Structure 1
Amino acid sequence: MHWHHEPEEWAQHRTTVQMRVPPGTDCWRMTGTNECVNNAPFYFLEVEGDFEVRCKVKANYESPDDQAGVMIREDEENWIKCGIQMVGDIPHMCATVTHDYSDMSLHPLPHLPEYMWVHAKKIGDGLEVYISEDSFDWMQIRQGDITDDAILQIGLYAASPESDDGFEVSFEDFMVKGED
């Protein structure tokens, strides 16, 4: 696996990746801000063709907009991120599809779960995103499009755009089916 924006503090033990997310990090393009920010830690592998990705995310969210999950990336202007994002003090399931401009969808959660499973699958140029608290009952939170003819970067991301200190996150059982 490879890094974009490797954090200073991170470790990998068997199937778990832990990191301290640096403050002032994000992945966002243009919408609402006219700014492009692409400095969030992203630990990825490259995949071509159809695939499924799944991961368990556990984090100590501390500030508004703290977020962690899975990212599927073609380049800086075309990507999808999905996972948990804090909006104020309320946790949300979040999926952002970006094709030059970021298009985010949020679904509030009744409570902050101890951990959340994220699952995405790509078939052709379509991508479906699912979230689960137990890895058995899945809820689809987004459908979007992504290129069908490129090698994609698929991996773990986290961001802390509003924080002064960042936060701790762990990713467990990251799995990609269909990888080359």
Structure 2
Amino acid sequence: MFDAYHWINEPKQWQCEDGTLSVVTDDKTDFWRHTWYGFERFSGHIFATEVPEDFTFQVKVCADFHTLYDQAGIMFMADDRHWLKAGIEFNDGTPAIGSVLTLGHSDWATGIFTGNPHEFWLRLTRKGDSLRLQYSSDGYHWPLLRLCYFPAGAAKIGVMCCTPERSGLSVDFLDIALTPPANKALHDLS
């Protein structure tokens, strides 16, 4: 199932069993470029595959976030200066849903997650130079998290996790699916 996927910053502990990818994060791993903090980091774990054209990628993520900046979700990237990550990130004492778009410099958009942060879904659809990012707390209802520009061209899509302040976050990625792009209207939340 994961034959076309490969690691970027492979963690010391991981396994694939019955279609589930299980990962335990290494110490002080992160993704960030410049903005506010001034530093550059690209040490988090990514399990990804090449995507030359449009697609929809979907995954279920299960983890127990409890330390500042614990995070897990998806990563779409052209290189270490051009990427989008999204998922749950532990921030200000609570798990939040959010995304970071990096086109030379990182931004950070985050908000309250009203579902169970230990189990959530993410979906990313690419059409040309546009990305539509959605999340779900039940696997059925998919609110928009972000709509953004991203340069067209070959890239990678997959899952990511990192722990900037520690090691040891256990994450399970389930129901990973890469399909042709879902051709749904922007406000179709199914």
Aligned CA RMSD, in angstroms, stands at 1.3
1:71 aligned onto 2:75: yes
Check the 8 A contact 1:78/1:99 in 2, yes or no.
yes
Report the TM-score, using the length of structure 1 for normalisation. 0.94
TM superposition shift of 1:16:
0.6
2:95 is aligned to 91
**1:162-177 counterparts in 2 under 5 A?**
162-163=165-166, 165-177=167-179
Kindly indicate which of the two structures has a greater share of residues assigned to strand.
1
1:140 is aligned to 144
| Compared CA separation, residues 63 and 104, structure 1 to 2 (3 A) | same
1:122 aligned onto 2:126: yes
Check the 8 A contact 1:46/1:154 in 2, yes or no.
yes
1:156 aligned onto 2:159: yes
Aligned length: 177
Output the CA distance in 2 between the equivalents of 1:32 and 1:113.
26
TM superposition shift of 1:111:
5.5
Check the 8 A contact 2:67/2:165 in 1, yes or no.
yes
TM superposition shift of 1:143:
1.1
Q: Secondary structure at the match of 1:103?
A: coil
Greater displacement, 82-91 / 170-179: 170-179
TM superposition shift of 1:98:
0.5
Report the TM-score, using the length of structure 2 for normalisation. 0.89
Output the CA distance in 1 between the equivalents of 2:113 and 2:174.
21
Gaps of 5+ in 1: none
Gaps of 5+ in 2: 182-190
